[in-house]
Amino acid sequence: METYGSTRYRTRYCGDLGVADIGTEVKVAGWTDVIRSHGNLVFIDLRDRSGVIQLRLDAKEAPQFLEMADTARRGWVLNAHGTVIARPEGMVNPKLATGGVEINVQDFVILGQSEPYPFPLSSAAEIDESLRLRYRYLDLRRPALQQNLIRRHHMTQAARAFLDRVGFIEVETPFLIGTTPEGARDFLVPSRMQRGSCYALPQSPQLMKQMLMVAGFDRYYQFARCMRDEDLRADRQPEFTQIDLEMSYVGLDDIIPIGEGVVAEIAKVARGIELPLPFPRMSWLQAMENYGTDKPDLRVSLAIHGVPPEFTETVPITKDLGPGVSARYLPVPAAFGSLSRSAADRLVENAGKESGCKVSWLKLTAEGASGPLGKSLVAPLREHMLASLGEDRGEAVVFVAAGKNWVSAAKCLGSLRGVIAEQCGAVDRNALKFLWVTEFPLLEWDEEQDCWVPAHHPFTSPLEEDLPLLESAPARVRSTAYDMVLNGTELSSGSIRIHDREVQKRVFGVLGIGEEEARAKFGFLLEALSYGAPPHGGMAIGYDRLVMLLLGAASLREVIAFPKTSSGKDLMFGAPSPPNKQQLSDLGLKWISDAPKPVL
RNA sequence: GGGGACGUAGUUCAGUUUGGUUAGAACGCCGGCCUGUCACGUCGGAGGUCGCGGGUUCGAACCCCGUCGUCCCCGCCA
């Protein structure tokens, strides 16, 4: 290794030293890990971000430092100067990268002392997360977390290098923007200079990147921070990072390889693997029909099938569901793990409760059928089910769901599919199954608000061939939206955008956004589209999530330096906190909540 | 907004089912000894508002009510 990192305190990093360095004089600096004192011979494990090296302090050779070494404690900051020597015969530690050598210390200085750690940094023991978050700087000193962030850095560099190579320009966009009526709740920032008005933090740079396309940047990307004021999960933080990108003069087949390329470069660095390209593609319809979700986990081979319409009424659970009733079934071969009667009953009960569908099951063998639905199973349907199972069916359990429409039945079995795979241990934790889901519906019917809402966002272009249906049959209009899915997680979504002012107006129309409202909310967009907008499209890749999945982390908090708790608090900085009186009066705000009072 | 789990030395936990003497263990911490350790060893020591508040009881870590915190899930997140 070069002398990178060489400073007045250090010539080398601890973890980089090896047998090649024997005989050289080095200076290292870092934190003490374990100190093992034998009275007249002291060993100190010194750690920096690169790893650990053993310091050796011998009473015979450097008696003046022995006393100092004796006062040192774990976590203190040391600066040591000495010679790299080979360890004696039989004293090599194969568990340590630097285990063949040690530094015979000739000189050493205590640069800083430390309180005893509030929790062990070395141990693999699981420490209460609130404690870790409160002392995040110590938590981040632990090798596991530090490696996560270092690997994330390399992944980021790989993505940047790739995007640069294929002509993307990195542009930063503002945090203080106006609120746009998108899906999530906005974080608001009250303005001092414009009293009574607020900025909103971006939920994504969506409109800004479209403006950059109108401006002619042609290919833009950014590691964009996004903020959404919604409830959190293990894979959801209030602020997160997207690899946001947008391209001009493109169709789907121009964008998708870029998305695949970025992810492949990142995976190469993260795991040293070559992802097989291109990723498989599947229409939304296929995904829903076969997997009961728009983000199927292809690590699991189970697929959902439709009960042919002519047999639907022979399945007892379809009764009383009215017109449009649809039944679907999920065959689970015995090879997948044998399910007991009670286990099947339990699965069915939960699935029914959550979905509002009628669910039941039967056991299917080459000879016959048993279980709750076994008796009523008509022969042709039985043949149909057996055919869908393939050869190694064994004692297959078949779950059947009936819903008011095929989508609800499919969704019900889709979640059941996930639960069963999990329970049977049929999910290969190391596998990476990417795919694209395309041709999403453009619109969804919102029961609560009694109106059409965009399935993706209101700037998503409909598929050209479905454009004539926009006003007459909105439900049937497919969009150019596409999602990248990894192991059942939505990693990215994107679309070709509307670049035609008239089409945009029509979509707003179907969404119930009148001319005036459109002008008020998106005036600048419509205006921009009237100045020669190129056909454009792009995507945003959920970067924290991608890093988490590629590194095998259990939570986003393991790949983010300073994450928040599930209730949105930062336990180290103590944010959020009540504003003080001066801040409120500057902003022209009055505190009406009776919750935490403003600081005086 | 709803459901679930957890909360006891600095840390990780046991003890709570069935209320009963002085709340234990391991690691860590402090002090002594030790020239080949690397989970060092060894001898000794300190360390507790059982999350908080209230209730039941002769008596509460343990039972009840409330509350706070962390985590997971549903709703929500285009």
Q: Mind listing the pLDDT tens digit for each residue in A374-397?
A: 888 998 999 889 888 877 777 888
Phi and psi, residue A292, nearest 5°:
65, 25
The pair of structure tokens assigned to A116 is 């005893």
Round to a whole number and report the distance in Å from the CA of A424 to the C1' of B61. Answer: 39
Q: How far is the CA of A369 from the C1' of B24 (A)?
A: 57
Q: Using one digit for the tens of pLDDT, what is the confidence trace for A509-551?
A: 998 888 888 888 888 888 999 999 999 999 999 999 999 999 9
What is A395-411 written as a DSSP string?
SEEEEEEEESSHHHHHH
Q: Look at residue A1 and tell me whether its pLDDT is greater than 50.
A: no
| CA–C1' A169–B20 (A) | 75
A325 class by beta-carbon count within 10 Å (0-12 exposed, 13-18 middle, 19+ buried): buried
The structure's pTM equals: 0.93
- Helix, strand, or coil here: A455? coil
Nucleotides of B under 7 A from a protein CB: 1, 10-13, 27-30, 33-41, 69-78
Neighbouring residues of A229: CB distance < 8 A, sequence distance ≥ 6 = A184, A185, A186, A187, A238
C-alpha pair distances (Å), A583 with each of A35, A434, A578, A598: 50, 48, 10, 10
The alpha carbon of residue A589 and the mean position of all alpha carbons in its chain are separated, in whole angstroms, by: 37
Burial class of residue A308, CB neighbours in 10 A (0-12, 13-18, 19+): exposed
The whole-number average pLDDT for the span A421-435 is: 87
Are the C-beta atoms of A278 and A424 separated by less than 8 Å?
A: no
Q: Cα–Cα distances in Å, from A315 out to A350, A358, A396?
A: 20, 11, 18
Question: Closest nucleotide (CA of A229 to C1')?
Answer: B77
Is there a contact between A86 and A101 (Cβ–Cβ < 8 Å)? yes
Half-sphere exposure of A55 (CA within 13 A, CB side): 33
Rounded distance in angstroms from the CA atom of residue A268 to the C1' atom of nucleotide B77:
30
Task: Indicate the range of A269-278, A358-367, A561-570 predicted with least confidence.
Answer: A358-367
Q: Tell whether the model's pLDDT for residue A141 goes beyond 80.
A: yes
Q: Name the nucleotide nearest A85; use CA and C1'.
A: B36
Q: What percent of chain A has pLDDT over 90?
A: 67
* Cα–Cα distance, A172 to A167 (Å, whole number): 16
Q: Determine the average pLDDT of the residues in A210-236.
A: 96
Which residue from A24, A19, A63 is spatially nearest to A40, judged by alpha carbons?
Answer: A63
The predicted structure's pLDDT at residue A597 = 54
SS (H, E, C) A540-555: EEEHHHHHHHHHCCCC
Q: Share the mean pLDDT of chain A.
A: 91
- Is residue A210 within 8 Å of residue A525, measured between CB atoms? yes
Is pLDDT larger for residue A323 or for residue A523? Answer: A523
Centroid of chain to Cα A225:
14
d(CA A72, CA A521): 63
Å: A572 CA to B44 C1': 38
